[in-house]
Amino acid sequence: MKHILLLTAALASLPLMAGDALDAYRKEVKPFLEEKKLDAYGKMRHLLINRFQSQLEGSFYNNVPELREPARREVEEMAAAETRRLQAIAAGKASAVPVPVRKKGEYPRIDGAKLVQNVVWPDGKTEERPVYLFGFGAFRGMWSDLDFLGELGINYIQAEVGPSHVYPEENRYDDRREREFRTLTGKAEKYGILMDLLISPHYLPQWFFDKNPDAKVHLGGFLRVGLNRPATQELMRKCYGKFLPLLASQPALWSVSVTNEPVAFLWHKDVDTPRLWQEYLTEKYRTIDGLNRKWGTEYADFKAVKPVLAPPRVPFAFDPRLYDWTDFNAARLAGWIGSLGKMTREYLPGKPQGTKMIQRNFKQYDLIQGVDVYYFTRNGELNGFDGGTRPGADSFLHQMVARSLLLGARKAPLINSEHHLLRDRNVDPVPAGFVRAAFFTDALTGLNGSVAWNWDWDGSNRNSLFIGLFRYRPRATEEYVRTGLDLMRLAPDVAAISGVEPEVGILYSRANLLWNQESIETLNRTFAAVSAAGLQPVVIPDQVLASGELAERFPELKVLILPDVRYLPDEAYAGLEVFMQQGFHDNRGVLAVGGLPELTPYGKKRDTAIFDDTAVSVERLAIADAEAGKVARQLEKFAVKPAVTLTAADGKPALNVFFRSAVRDGRRIVAAVNLSDEPTAELQWRDASGKPGAMTDAASLTPEGVKTNFRLAPWQVVLGELN
């Protein structure tokens, strides 16, 4: 089936290009333009080639001359690649590739951890299936380019509003943001683009602090206001109560991110902290004697317990107070976010919410900053976050673990509304294929929505955050949009892979990471080892154990791995005992990698007699390492065995390769990504019996059968059916 897509008049009026590759492309694309036969990929590339060539011919790169030549080369490479594809289509050796779009006038619905809605194919066929959202943020540069970005095929953007935009003066409402947003959402609706609204309470007007000096306090990160001050709460309601109802009827507005990268760890500077800290301790311990027993202290009453100063450096010395202080920070910050979300929901009913949560859940100093995935994911319907991968297997692994932790905390769609695939203020080369590999891997491990940071630019300021981001980089932009189109096209298969119910869980404990920081390496290596064995693990916060949610949340879970968990709260330990006792009857169990949870968060010893001798030590595990076999053999004791594995043809581990599989409609779907800038060794898919299999790579725009033995090029992605 030919994919017929009408092109706007804007395509034909774009500037001409120079260079042999560009001349050849212009000649090849001409009949496709005249006959209106460019598919979504061809249209996207045509727009990008012309836009970036126009920028090269102008002054756009004058302030960053080191990016000019790479951009010129990337435009020519894109043109050459598309010329070859168009020639193959014209010769009947390849076909145009149809891509569905979201049906306008409808919103995605949340189905567990997926987004699902009706899509429309180029031939008019409509069907309900998983969808993936992708696009760019976030400021006026993106706003002014939205017609261009809409033509590229994006379907998601983010824009923000803060109190200073609404009331720059105490009694003067400024309608400029309202007018800008009406224009923005109108354009978005035209192209079927959804908007995520970022509630940004960190943009505060000076008049507020002049009137309320006690509210001015730097809590850490973007938050520079006393969150619990009555005046702060009144300001939020005044501003958002005025502005949000004006947007409620805009069809393009779909989701809300409640606050930007919230962290807070300098609470001792806040005037409300002593009172709230004492209330927290009173509710938790009831009596001061209970607190003294836990802490090993001799306080006379709760009023004598002062706020804890954030330790000035890492590693921290052991302090039994710090676990409660960390929990207090997290509960307080999550409570404030929840109240902001509740207020927002009054004015924007029915709009799914998430928190733009920064991924600070692992390092010791990060843990005291108030970011707790279990608490944060209680607020709203979306697992919202902010993060991104850097080249290198360790960064890929860390991001996989962080996303898995979010899904372990709550089964809800993952939305990265500040997707850092490129570094701020960076003019270094971006490896060809990296952006695609990172974005595709994110989707295979659960990502449903992405707002890439960032489309904006500031050519007059070399020190701008935006220097070197997408608008400067042809290839990175093409890879990002192309991958978004691929995810829409291949959505059912990608969703099947990311949605496999896990049989293996890996326990995450704040207390353990706070006092046993080395265990983060064990956690990461264990995740890598289980993945390399062909299984799909999930990282589970200890609060899930403590709450009794484990069995309901993870009905297929057979093994819970403790990655050197030596410190564990009593409530979580009780949940662990329940899981182990049930396991005696149905062959489920616990695998301890390293130490046992013999200590409470306060350093008190406990009896660990419930553990038998099944503990195993795992060392030196990488993305795919020979040691992965050690974990695989232990898991087989619990009848946990992968249906498919990917190894080197000689049977050795496939180094720096990520792979997953699933069954959909009776077909075995597999996917693999080379996580490095080097080609892989010769690889083989094998089923549970060890029999090799071949696949067809549906992720390619010119699909070819992948032989039983194959290699992956640097950063290459493959996905398809295994035969």
pLDDT of 293 above 70: yes
Q: Quickly list DSSP for 476-495.
A: HHHHHHHHHHHHHHTHHHHH
Q: Which of 366-380, 565-579, 619-633 shows the lowest mean pLDDT across its residues?
A: 619-633
Residues 6+ apart with CB under 8 A from 597: 509, 512, 562, 565, 566, 567, 568, 573, 576, 606, 608
Read off the pLDDT of each residue in 497-518 and give the average, rounded to a whole number: 96
Give residue 704's pLDDT: 76
- Contact between 227 and 336 under an 8 Å Cβ cutoff? The reply is yes
Q: Which residues pair with 117 in a beta bridge?
A: 129
Q: Which residues pair with 414 in a beta bridge?
A: 383, 447
Read off the pLDDT of each residue in 241-267 and give the average, rounded to a whole number: 93
Helices (H), 377-466: 393-409, 434-444
Q: Which of 325-334, 441-450, 627-636, 702-711 shows the lowest mean pLDDT across its residues?
A: 627-636
For residue 603, what are its two tokens? Answer: 């350093």
Q: Quickly list DSSP for 287-319.
A: SHHHHHHHHT---SSGGG-PPPPPPSSSSPPP-
Residue spans of the domains in the chain: they are 9-98, 131-264+322-492, 500-640, 643-723
3-class secondary structure, 180: helix
pLDDT of 16 above 60: no
Tell which wins on pLDDT, 181 or 613. 181
Beta strands in 420-553 (DSSP E): 447-452, 504-508, 538-541
Q: Which residues pair with 127 in a beta bridge?
A: 119
In angstroms, what CA-CA distances link 346 with 244, 258, 396, 612?
9, 13, 39, 53
Q: pLDDT tens digits, residue range 594-614?
A: 889 999 999 999 988 888 655
Q: pLDDT tens digits, residue range 376-397?
A: 999 999 999 999 999 998 999 9
Give residue 626's pLDDT: 43
Strands 683-687 and 709-710: antiparallel
d(CA 316, CA 263): 19
Tell which wins on pLDDT, 5 or 717. 717
Give residue 17's pLDDT: 47
Tell which wins on pLDDT, 603 or 19. 603
pLDDT of 1 above 70: no
* C-alpha radius of gyration, the chain, whole number: 27
CATH code that applies to domain 643-723: 2.60.40.1180
Q: pLDDT tens digits, residue range 25-84?
A: 999 999 999 999 999 999 999 999 999 999 999 999 998 999 999 999 999 999 999 999
pLDDT of 435 above 50: yes
pLDDT of 546 above 60: yes
Pick among 3.30.230.10, 3.20.20.80, 3.50.50.60, 3.40.50.300: CATH of 131-264+322-492: 3.20.20.80
Q: Which helix (H) or strand (E) holds 263?
A: none
d(CA 341, CA 615): 44
Q: Sign of dihedral through CA atoms 528, 529, 532, 535?
A: negative
pLDDT of 619 above 90: no
pLDDT of 702 above 90: no
- Counts for the chain of helices (H) and strands (E), in that order: 25, 27
Give residue 557's pLDDT: 95
Confidence bin at 14 (pLDDT 50/70/90): very low
Q: pLDDT tens digits, residue range 297-354?
A: 999 999 999 999 877 777 888 999 999 999 999 999 999 999 999 999 999 999 999 9
pLDDT of 624 above 50: no
Give residue 489's pLDDT: 99
Q: pLDDT tens digits, residue range 109-157?
A: 999 999 999 999 999 999 999 999 999 999 999 999 999 999 999 999 9
Segment 211-218 long-range contacts (CB within 8 Å, at least 24 positions apart): 211/170, 214/271, 217/266, 217/269, 217/270, 217/271, 218/266, 218/269
Q: Which of 85-89, 261-265, 378-382, 417-421 shows the lowest mean pLDDT across its residues?
A: 261-265
Give residue 567's pLDDT: 98
Strands 657-664 and 667-674: antiparallel
d(CA 413, CA 499): 11
3-class secondary structure, 385: strand
- Residue 94 identity: A
Q: pLDDT tens digits, residue range 40-52?
A: 999 999 999 999 9
Q: What is the mean pLDDT of the chain?
A: 92
Pick among 3.40.50.880, 3.40.30.10, 3.40.50.1220, 1.10.579.10: CATH of 500-640: 3.40.50.880
Strands 644-648 and 683-687: antiparallel
Give residue 584's pLDDT: 60
Residues 6+ apart with CB under 8 A from 464: 425, 457, 458
Q: pLDDT tens digits, residue range 625-674?
A: 446 677 888 888 888 999 999 999 988 888 899 999 999 999 999 999 99
Q: pLDDT tens digits, residue range 586-598?
A: 778 898 888 899 9
Give residue 219's pLDDT: 85
Q: Which helix (H) or strand (E) holds 364?
A: helix 364-367
Number of neighbours of residue 233 by Cβ within 10 angstroms = 16
- Contact between 160 and 182 under an 8 Å Cβ cutoff? The reply is no
The model's pTM: 0.94
